[in-house]
Every structure is written in C-alpha cells, then in structure tokens.
A and B are shown apart, each in its own frame.
Chain A
C-alpha cells in the first residue's frame, strides 16, 4: 500500500515532466482505474439493482444494507489484518459463536452494572483470547496458519456446542441497544463499523506497526532482517482479528436478540471473499481497509438485491461465486496492464528521480 502509493506519486511526477499534459491525463486515468476500480464496480452493481429492483434505491434500503453488512464488515477488517501478514484465519465464525454465547448468557442476568460490563467486556476478551491462541501457535509455534485455524475452527465450535447447544434468549432489554437501536437515522452497528474502519485505517496507514504488517506480509525474511519482531507482529495481527470477532459476536447476538452455538458457521469464507473482492492479495502485503469494506458491501448488495428480485438462493450462490472471480480477475487485469506500462517507461522513471 505505502509502496504502491509512492509509485503512483513518482509516476505522476515523471509523466508531467517528460511526456507532458496528454500523458498525465492518460496515466491519471489508469491510476483511477487501478486504485478505484473496485469503487467503480460498486457503483455499477448498485446502479444495476437500482434500475431493475423496485424499492432498492431508497435511503431506507441503503441504511438496511449498511446494517446488514456491519457484522461481516467488522470480521472482514480483522481478516484483512491477517491476510496482509500473509496469513489466513478460518476460526472467525467459531470465535464469534463463543463470544456471542457467553455474551448472551451474561446478558440474561440481572442488569447490575457488573453484569452489564461483563456482557460487553467478556466477548471482547474471549475473542482476543481465541486470537492469542491462534497467534501464538502460528508465530512461536511456527505452524502454518491454515492448519492452526482449521484446527481451532473445529475445536472452538466443538467446545461451544458441547458447552451450550440450546439457544439463549430473553436477553435483558438494555442489551438490544447495541444491535437494534439507532442514533438519528443511523443504526448503532453501522456506527461501530465506521469506527472500526476509521481506527484500523489510521493504524495501517499512519503507524509504524501498520507498516510492519505490510512489511511482514510483503517479505517476511526482509522484515526480519530489518529488525522487525515478526513473531510479535503476527501475534498482534491474530489477536486484533480475534478481538474484532468478539466485537462482531457481541453485535450479532444483540441484533438477533439471542445467542446460538451454531452462529457464524461459514462466516470465514464470506470474510475471506470480501477481503479478496476488495483487492487484497492472499499472498500478503497488499490491501486496504476501505476497499475491504467495499468488498463486503458488494457481496451484501448482490445478496440483498437478489433477494429483493426474488432470485432462488442456489442461483444467488452461483452469482456470488461469479462476482468473486470477476472482481479478482478485473483487479489482476488492471494490475498486469499497469505493470507493462511501468516497465516500458523505465527511462522516464529515472528522469523523474533526477528531476527530484
């Protein structure tokens, strides 16, 4: 991300210096395509549904879609951290179920200040703890992330189904606030998602820790040679992801008004898809929070739109699968075209350095 930003900056400078006005606009256009291709796709999909579906292009529906994407958006942001570090986390759904179940059990108790604090705090803590387990095994245990989180996906799910298979409901009224109330017209889960997006963007773009994550994902050996504590970065990345799963579990349970041990099954795949549709690389080092949220939004808009069009769910699934491949393919296509142009203008690149 930092790398690509520098590159675009450099290119913009040399194009104006060497090739003049016409070339700048050309380069700017491809830059827009590359950096904003996913946003253009979002707009196209939204327009397509607005035209075809009655009641889609309304403020109400916009707010509803944001509400529906909030839980998956939070998980996807966590997943982005993991994927940036060249990892993967399959245990997010199971972590969400553990956090949600304990939150629900506590939210059923008398609403004393202690119980309220516990119902809000325990899911975050449990999410963090699950993330720490993953992170420790992956960093200091040197085990592959796919294996570790596949294992914990089964283990966490097994535990929570064994611990409390029946749903917990009749939660205290105060607990609804988090998932069902609004501030003005904006539902609280959407506000939570916006906060998560803002804070994580800052962390990834403006802090040393953020740069370390990109560095570890980009080239682990180089990062280690540069003196970065790679194990610590990985531990932090999985813990952050776990924490967000806990937060998502809290919001999800509050939104449903009940906790279930089977909650979140299959969420890992949707989260990974959102991150990938948002243009992040599964090989680490590339991706942004904003685009990940857009990726999650695209998935949700397609799903909601198809439901409103009354398309049968097996066909919805097939279309979603197609969208995932299309999004990544478009992204790759643009990347490749860009790569060719960049290497073709190597002389200009040098001249720009001279100019600087």
Chain B
C-alpha cells in the first residue's frame, strides 16, 4: 500500500511539469482584482518558478478531475511547478501525502481538505514547516491559512431551496411530494446542502408543505437509479426530485424515464453542472442545476497561491467563486465553461 502510494506520488509529480511560454502580456500581482467575475482568466506570469504542492481529495471524481485540469493548465501558463497528490478521500493518506510534499521543499501548499473537521493535522504540519497554505474548493478547519478560494457550500443548498419555493408557488398545490437524493451520510457537501435547502424552506414558511422521501444514494448514479426505481414503484405520486449531486439526478432521470413519468415528476435541481446534466437541461428533461465552477476554484486557487508567493499580501481571506443557478435561460454560457474543463 505504502509502496503503491509512493509510486503514485512519483508518477503524479513527474507528469504535470511543463515550463510555460514567456510571450503573453501579463498582469502584475497587485493589479488583479480578485472580486471581479472571471479574474482567474487574466493572463499572469510568476516572477519565479515556484514549487507548489497540490493536495486533492479524490481525482477519480469527475468534478475533482476537472479541478485538477484547471490547476495544471493555469500552472503551465504561469510557469510554476506543481507536485500533485491525491488523498483518495482518506485523511490518513492525506496527511502522509502532505508530509511527503513538505519533504520535497515546496514553497506553498494548495490544499483541498478531504474532511471539514479531520484535515487539521495536514494543515498544522505545513504550518510547522513554515509553508503557507491556500485552501481551494473546501475550507477545512484547523491551523493557519493565507486564503480560501472556493464557493460557500451552503449557498448551493439555499439556491436549491429557493428553486423549490418557486415551484411551490408555481404549482399552487396545498402540499408537494418530493424525493431528495442525499449523498453520503456524514459528508460535508451532503449535510450542508441539506441544511441550506431545509433552512430556506423554513424561512419561506413552507417547510411543512413539502413531504420528503429522502434516501442516501452515495453520490452514485447506479445507486440513485436503483433507489429511485424502488421509490417510484411504491408510488408515482411525486411532484419533483432534487439531488445533492449531478450524478444522482442522472440516476433518478433514468428511473423516471423507465417508469414513464418524465414530465410528471420534475427532475428539478441538483448541484455540480456536469456536461450531461447541462445537455439534459437543454433538452428540457432536467429543470436546473447549481453550477459550481471547477475552473474558478482550480485556476483561481493556483493563481492566488502564486500571487501570494510573488509578494501580494493583501489577498482577501475568502475569495468566493459564486455558484450559478443554471436553467434553460443561461445553459449555453455555462456549457462553454463545462466543455472546456470536463473535456477528456
């Protein structure tokens, strides 16, 4: 296991390093406004070939793979060297990965915590070695950090909640029956989205008007399809389905289609913005999704890290990449981004 891991690290360390060209007009560190939409697309060159260690949660998930791709592309463009490691969703693996990175004398750690509460040891290890930490995508608790580039996760839940409020008003029924595909019990992205949805309904005063059938489907498409089939087999009297992740809404779509309920049971909202879901929105099979931007988080993360190393000390502590509610009206714009980052 340990040997496998070291080989994997060696392999990952060797692959992404390609020095960038030096011709484009570049913005100095101080002039990039990180509150402006799309700031991470500004061309930028590092003053020095910094070595940045990047720790991902699990690159076998398409979203994280897209994030990784954005990091690699931006690093190449800026002319910084990255050493990448994959925690495989295990904080123990994560810690030993980070320790290995620190051994390799990295200038900065770009960190995506595998756990909200249990990744502190990795951050503290970097603190102890005097290596600055920039969080991206997930802001894990513990230790000191320079900046966080990512989205406020609860916003995705709030956006979903608002969508349901809208649907409730639209349909004008006394109460709605909804299926909620949850992710994995205990995962931060699952719990915080659930909280966002339920809080929003409570604020709107319709919490008791939505009858939920909730099941965990492990963020997995196959499991979601199976679970949705069983639920719909018991009763087809549902108004809508929401999911805490796009893979699960796709599974539910399969079940709704094979039960012949497409159009009656609305595939209402989920989170991520995978190309297949965007296609579904375009085709009218899925109503909406909450797009989170792997390019903004990935390219933005590595760019903020580089600017900090280049001497910019006035970076905001929280650099937020907003979620974007995506429905038929703006799906084409979002698709352009998704096609760029999710292309194999």
> CB within 8 Å of B: which residues of A?
53-56, 58, 60-61, 64, 67-68, 154, 157-158, 161, 164-167, 169-170, 180, 252, 255-258, 260-263, 303-304, 307-308, 310, 312-314
Knowing A164-B344, A165-B59, A165-B344, the reply to whether A64 touches B233 (Cβ < 8 A) is yes
A-B contact pairs, 24 of them (CB 8 A): A53-B234, A55-B234, A58-B233, A61-B233, A67-B229, A154-B4, A161-B60, A164-B344, A165-B60, A165-B65, A166-B343, A167-B274, A169-B276, A170-B279, A256-B251, A257-B254, A258-B250, A260-B221, A304-B226, A308-B230, A308-B234, A310-B213, A312-B216, A313-B185
Q: How far is the CA of A143 from the CA of B229 in the complex (A)?
A: 42
Other A-B pairs beyond A167-B247, A262-B60, 8, CB < 8 Å: A54-B235, A64-B229, A167-B62, A180-B258, A256-B251, A307-B215, A312-B185, A313-B185
B17, CB-defined interface residue at 8 Å: no
A252 lies within 8 A of B279 (CB): no
B61, CB-defined interface residue at 8 Å: yes
Q: Which listed residue (A165, A261, A262, A307) contacts B227, Cβ 8 A?
A: A307
The residue on A at minimum CB distance from B250 is: A258
Q: How far is the CA of A58 from the CA of B222 in the complex (A)?
A: 23
B229 lies within 8 A of A166 (CB): no
B342, CB-defined interface residue at 8 Å: yes
The 3 closest A-B pairs by CB, nearest first: A313-B216, A165-B65, A55-B234
Q: B254: which A residues are within 8 A, CB to CB?
A: 255-257
Mask, B205-246, CB within 8 Å of A = 1, is: 000000001111010111001110111011100000000000
Q: How far is the CA of A81 from the CA of B66 in the complex (A)?
A: 40
Q: Which listed residue (B233, B276, B342) contacts A55, Cβ 8 A?
A: B233
The residue on B at minimum CB distance from A67 is: B229
Q: Report A267 CB to chain B, min CB distance, Å.
A: 9
The residue on B at minimum CB distance from A267 is: B222
Q: How far is the CA of A314 from the CA of B182 in the complex (A)?
A: 12
The residue on A at minimum CB distance from B246 is: A167
The main secondary structure of chain B at its interface with chain A is helix
Knowing A60-B233, A308-B234, the reply to whether A256 touches B221 (Cβ < 8 A) is yes
A263 lies within 8 A of B233 (CB): no
Q: B227: which A residues are within 8 A, CB to CB?
A: 307
Q: B342: which A residues are within 8 A, CB to CB?
A: 166
Q: B231: which A residues are within 8 A, CB to CB?
A: 307-308
Name which of B4, B62, B230 has the most chain A CB atoms within 10 A of its CB. B230
Knowing A161-B59, A261-B60, A313-B185, the reply to whether A256 touches B234 (Cβ < 8 A) is no
Q: B215: which A residues are within 8 A, CB to CB?
A: 307, 310, 312-313
Q: Which listed residue (B61, B66, B185, B276) contacts A258, Cβ 8 A?
A: B276
Q: Report B151 CB to chain A, min CB distance, Å.
A: 21
Q: How far is the CA of A32 from the CA of B62 in the complex (A)?
A: 51
Q: A64: which B residues are within 8 A, CB to CB?
A: 229-230, 233
Q: Report A161 CB to chain B, min CB distance, Å.
A: 4
Q: A67: which B residues are within 8 A, CB to CB?
A: 229
The residue on A at minimum CB distance from B185 is: A314
Q: A164: which B residues are within 8 A, CB to CB?
A: 344
The residue on B at minimum CB distance from A307 is: B230
Q: How far is the CA of A58 from the CA of B81 in the complex (A)?
A: 61
The residue on A at minimum CB distance from B213 is: A310
Q: How far is the CA of A262 from the CA of B61 in the complex (A)?
A: 8
Mask, B249-279, CB within 8 Å of A = 1, is: 0110010001000000000000000101001
